[in-house]
Amino acid sequence: MSGRSAAAEIGRDVGAPAFQVIVAISFCHLINDMMSSLLPAIYPTLKADMGLSFGQIGLVTLTYQLTASLLQPVIGLYADRRPTPLALPGGTLFLLVGLLALSVAHSYPILLAGAALLGMGSSVFHPEASRVARMASGGRHGLAQSLFQVGGNAGQALGPLAAALVVVRWGQSSLVFFALLVLLAGAILWNIGVWYRDHGLARLKSGGGRHAVPVALPRGKALKSIGILLMLIFSKYFYLASLTSYFTFYLIHRFQVSVQNAQLHLFVFLAAVAVGTIAGGPLGDRFGRKYVIWFSILGALPFTLVLPHANLFWTAPLTVVIGLILSSAFPAIVVFAQELFPGKVGTVSGLFFGFSFGMAGLGAALLGQLADATSIERVYQLCAFLPLIGLFAAFLPNIERARRA
């Protein structure tokens, strides 16, 4: 079946979820984020081979996250005004070139350039892919956003596993083999772009499905809610940066485990993040997104406080619970924000994906400096209090109650 005929088949019922499209965009999210997560997964190798400090590693992460975060809101705003369906396959070119640059990077400037190109690929992918998930949702926005997000989380989890099984064994140059997956994603995204052009835009204009009833809040209240949501994103991604960028170093330094063992622990944590993401969206659809957001930030607090004092045996279960709880927030936050500003799906998605990337990058850079100045253990002792910011979720409006009214 050709891309056009497949898109026509999937696009017939505007009111029903197009699960084939959601699964396809989620799979491409997996590949995109797997390529991105290969970067922090090979940090121990790069640190040993190139003699990098924690601060320099933090700057690599910051470079990646800034190119992703600063461009995403701009691309989302442009796409709201002038939708560009074929931007999705075009964005894979940045990912491909960035991966090739990292495979031959033996100097710090080339390493930074490769990280920047990976970020540019993500900046094109995330706002438009999130828009596609909403187009295909059939009104089940939380479910669609969770399925889309879980692809990214699964990719982030597979990155360290791929690094442990392939890159550690065959060396940095083996990154070039992952370019085949990027080419596969480009082919799938081309077909998604055809569906987007021929059917997705009509779905979005119709409101996204039979359950989509916009609720108009006063502009000031909506902007205040956006500010609260961004604070929660700061809390979530600053804490996650401590684990995604430095958890392997923490395990190696404190418990003297091997690099491969530490990467497997990171894989287990990121797998828990993927599982938690699946639950966040549907629970928000059923019980209300405000309550899911509240629990998913504040609920992690007892476990983050215990983690710095746990032995190796309890570290893995604690990080699993933290990953499960924290990860349920993001799908609910994105859909909540999209409902605050109906018709601005790209802008809102770009803002929140971009801000999350930026906070993760800033967190990695600052926490790297803190680890150099004090110790890696001190990082986790201070970050343990970040989920307290979840208390601000109490001030969010109850959109579901307003919709029922």
Amino acid present at 74? V
Q: Is 275 exposed, middle or buried (CB count within 10 Å of its CB: 0-12, 13-18, 19+)? A: middle
DSSP characters for 268-319?
A: HHHHHHHHHHHHHHHHHHHH-HHHHHHHHHHTTHHHHHHGGG--HHHHHHHH
E-strand ranges in 16-124 read: none
Q: Name every residue whose Cβ is closer than 8 Å to that of residue 376 and which is 6 or more positions away in sequence.
A: 54, 246, 249, 250, 253, 254
Alpha-carbon span 233 to 329, nearest angstrom: 9
Task: Please check whether residue 288 lies inside any domain of the structure.
Answer: yes
Domain assignment present for residue 128? The answer is yes
pLDDT at 210: 43
**Is residue 9 situated within a structural domain?**
no
What was the pLDDT predicted at 324? 92
Distance CA 70, CA 88 (A): 18
Q: Is the pTM of this model over 0.75?
A: no
Indicate the DSSP class of residue 16: S
Dist. CA 237–CA 244, nearest whole Å: 10
Could you give the count of Cα atoms lying within 13 Å of 287 in the half-sphere of its Cβ? 12
**Is the torsion defined by CA of 285, 289, 293, 299 positive or negative?**
negative
In a domain, 6, yes or no: no
* Residue 3 domain-assigned (yes or no): no
Half-sphere exposure (CA, 13 Å, Cβ side) for 359? 18
| Distance of alpha carbon 332 from alpha carbon 112, whole angstroms | 33
Answer yes or no: are the C-beta atoms of 341 and 290 closer than 8 Å: no
State the residue range of the domain holding 231.
Answer: 16-404
pLDDT tens per residue across span 142-166: 888 888 988 887 887 788 788 778 8
Q: At which residue do the structure tokens 């570290």 appear?
A: 315
Asked if the structure places residue 101 within a domain, the reply is yes
Which CATH number is 314's domain given? 1.20.1250.20
Per-residue pLDDT of the chain (405 residues; tens, 9 = 90+): 455 544 444 445 556 788 899 999 999 999 998 988 788 777 877 788 888 888 888 888 788 878 877 888 888 888 888 888 888 998 899 999 998 888 888 889 999 999 999 989 988 898 889 889 888 888 788 888 888 988 887 887 788 788 778 877 787 778 888 888 999 999 999 999 999 988 887 777 765 444 445 556 788 888 999 999 999 999 998 998 888 888 999 999 999 999 889 988 988 898 888 788 888 778 777 777 888 898 999 999 999 999 999 999 999 999 999 999 998 888 889 888 888 887 788 788 888 888 887 787 788 888 988 998 999 999 999 999 999 999 999 899 877 665 555
Residue among 278, 50, 257, 41 nearest 147 (CA): 278
Q: Can you tell me whether residue 53 is helix, strand or coil? A: coil
**How does pLDDT run across 258-302, given as a tens digit for each residue?**
988 998 898 889 888 878 888 877 877 777 788 889 899 999 999
Buried b (16+ CB within 10 A) or exposed e, 134-148: bbbbbbbbbbbbbbb
**Number of structural domains the chain divides into:** 1
Q: What is the pLDDT of residue 59?
A: 87
Let me know if 106 is exposed, middle or buried by CB neighbors in 10 A (0-12, 13-18, 19+). exposed
Give the CA diameter of the chain.
Answer: 62
**Which residues have CB under 8 Å from 11's CB, separation 6+?**
18, 195, 198, 199, 200, 202, 203
Q: Is 328 helix (H, G, I), strand (E, B) or coil?
A: coil
3-state DSSP assignment of residue 106: coil
First to last CA, the chain: 46
Task: Say which residues have a Cβ less than 8 Å from residue 5's Cβ, sequence separation at least 6.
Answer: none
Q: How far is CA 177 from CA 35, 99, 166, 181, in A?
A: 11, 9, 10, 8
Residue 213 within any structural domain of the chain: yes
Per-residue model confidence (pLDDT) at position 91: 87
Residue 221 belongs to some domain of the structure: yes
